[in-house]
Structure formats: C-alpha cells, structure tokens
C-alpha cells in the first residue's frame, strides 16, 4: 500500500488558495473593471426581498462614488458600519457601474460567502492531519504499542513476539 504525505508547503499553499476565494469572486471587476474612490455618506436600514419573496431588514453603510459625472451608490457589508466620510476603493463594471464591489478586507470577507472558506479550511486541515498522523504512526520506535508489525523483522511487535509491556521486568522475549 502506498503511503501519501502532504508537505507543510503544500498545506499552506492550499490554505492560501482557499482564503483567496472571497476575493476571486470579483476577479472580473478587479482585472477588467474601472476603479473609483467612494465615500461613506451614512449608515442606513433598508428592506430587502429575497428570491422566495421573504422580506427582512438589513443595515449597511452607504458608499457613493462618481463615474463619468454620474453618482452611484453601493452598500458595504451588512451590519458593519464604516466611519462616515471614510474613503474606500470601489471596482465597478465599465458597462454598468451599478455592478461593483468594495475593495477592502471587510468588503470581501464580511458576507455570507465568507463561510465557505472557513468550512473548506477545516475540511482541508482534517484531511492534512489524517495523512500526516498516519505517516507519524509508521515512524514510531520499535516496541511501542502503536508500532506497525513487520513480518520477518526481528524485534518488531507481532503475533510471534510478545510486547515488552506484557513481559515481567526480568523476562526477555524468546526467539524461535
């Protein structure tokens, strides 16, 4: 049976890719879109209707930005209040500036989509520990309770050799 091992660099690389997921959601806007400076004008509550028709109250900071002389507004993360007058970078679609994203840590990571990287990191960490603990178990010293039995190797715990903890202190294992 082949034993797989995941290096710590591979683990960290995959973690980095998972953590970039919320930013990658807006890759088209970040690469091909326009960039404007937006200013936080106020913190307001608004009624939102979801796809199935349920209505709920949502509070967010209003960010206004100017594109070719036309003023647009967007909202920051839900239930997060930016200081009034703060200037933020906003990336927008060149054809429709109403499609935009706020380029800040809170703009990328304080939304419902940010739960996915947390779940993926936990699953990836469990996967990593599973494979690396298996590898460590194979490297345990001879005679330890968790060491793997290797047939034909003298001193390896197995069916023919009693474990040292089962022998009395003055008794030595018998060889055949």
Instruction: Pick the closest to residue 97 from 127, 57, 128, 68 (CA basis).
Output: 68
Phi/psi for 131 (5° steps) reads -75, -40
Which residue has better confidence, 145 or 50? 50
Say if residues 88 and 63 touch (Cβ distance below 8 Å). Answer: yes
Cα first-last separation, the chain:
29
How does pLDDT run across 107-131, given as a tens digit for each residue?
888 777 778 888 999 999 998 888 7
Which residue has better confidence, 154 or 71? 71
Ordered by where they begin, the domains of the chain are 25-111 (2.40.50)
- Is the model's pLDDT at 72 over the cut of 80? yes
CB atoms within 10 A of CB 1: 3
CA distance 44 to 33: 27
Which residue has better confidence, 24 or 175? 24
């Amino acid at each position: 049976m082949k034993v797989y091992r995941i290096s710590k660099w591979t683990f960290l690389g995959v973690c980095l890719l998972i953590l970039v997921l919320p930013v990658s959601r807006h890759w088209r806007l970040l690469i091909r879109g326009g960039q404007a400076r937006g200013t936080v004008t106020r913190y307001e509550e608004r009624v939102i209707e979801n796809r199935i028709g349920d209505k709920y109250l949502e509070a967010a900071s209003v960010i206004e930005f100017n594109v070719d002389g036309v003023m647009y507004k967007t909202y920051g993360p839900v239930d997060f209040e930016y200081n009034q007058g703060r200037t933020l970078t906003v990336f927008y679609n060149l054809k429709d500036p109403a499609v935009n994203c706020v380029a800040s840590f809170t703009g990328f990571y304080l939304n419902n989509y940010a739960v996915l990287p947390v779940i993926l990191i936990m699953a990836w960490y469990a996967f990593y520990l599973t494979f690396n603990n298996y590898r460590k178990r194979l490297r345990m010293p001879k005679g330890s309770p968790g060491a793997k039995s290797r047939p034909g190797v003298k001193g390896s715990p197995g069916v023919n050799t009693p474990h040292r903890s089962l022998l009395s202190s003055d008794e030595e294992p018998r060889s055949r």
